[in-house]
Amino acid sequence: MTRPAVADRPELRVSILAPLGAFGAWLVAQLLGAVLLQGLHGTVPDADRLFDPYFAAVLLGSDLVLLAGVWWSVRGTPDPRRALGLVRPSSWGQAAKLAIGGMVLVLVVAQILEPLLHAAESQGLTPRPFPGGAEAWIGVIVAALAFVVVAPVAEELFFRGLLFAALRGRLGPHWTPVTTGVVFGALHGEPRAFISLALLGIVLGVLYERTGSVIPGILLHGANNGLAFAFAFAS
């Protein structure tokens, strides 16, 4: 088992202010995007999020800002790539087993809670019938790029990479995955989906802790989002 590099190399760690700065830039980007969206396009109903190109563009833009903030935060470390866990995992086999087990756990818990909390609806994953047309198809393509590709990369590099670099030396191997997972669930701003999102965040944190790499987590996060996106679109 390989631990994250920040566990053993203090010079790769960052100040607790670093993730706060990156998150602040992300939040400002989301707020500015929301203001522009409201002013130019109006309110986007939850049931239209999946295929509204303007909503998808705001999501994509804010995640690109988050990526830039994360990289800016580790630029002063001796090895920014290792500080964020952008290295090969210690064992792809172990990573695959952990990822599959974690995915099954998250899906089972989400399905048990869905009739009670309706988390999928609150996240825009139970859309109205697909309206068709060029604008809707552009929206689906941009949303897929944002939700399935860019968001998993940006969020893993922030919630696992950067937050681990700030907290791992203080909280240790057990509380860091739990703390970053709870923060991951809370900052999504979806109260009805908090339990499922926090559990996913903890699974992703354990995966990073056990493999020393954020790459398996990016793939798992992308698979999770891809499945949710595909099922929502198919429905």
Quick check: 139 pLDDT over 80? yes
Summarised one tens digit per residue, pLDDT across range 191-229 is: 888 999 999 999 999 999 999 999 999 999 999 899 888
Summarised one tens digit per residue, pLDDT across range 58-114 is: 999 999 999 999 999 999 999 999 999 999 998 999 999 999 999 999 989 988 988
Task: Retrieve residue 146's tokens.
Answer: 């944002």
Concatenated DSSP letters of 106-150: HHHHHHHHHHHH-HHHHTT-SPPPP--SHHHHHHHHHHHIIIIII
User: How far is 1 from 53, CA to CA, in rounded Å?
Assistant: 43
Summarised one tens digit per residue, pLDDT across range 141-184 is: 999 999 999 999 999 999 999 999 999 999 999 999 999 999 99
Summarised one tens digit per residue, pLDDT across range 32-56 is: 999 988 888 888 877 778 888 899 9
Residue 2: per-residue pLDDT: 87
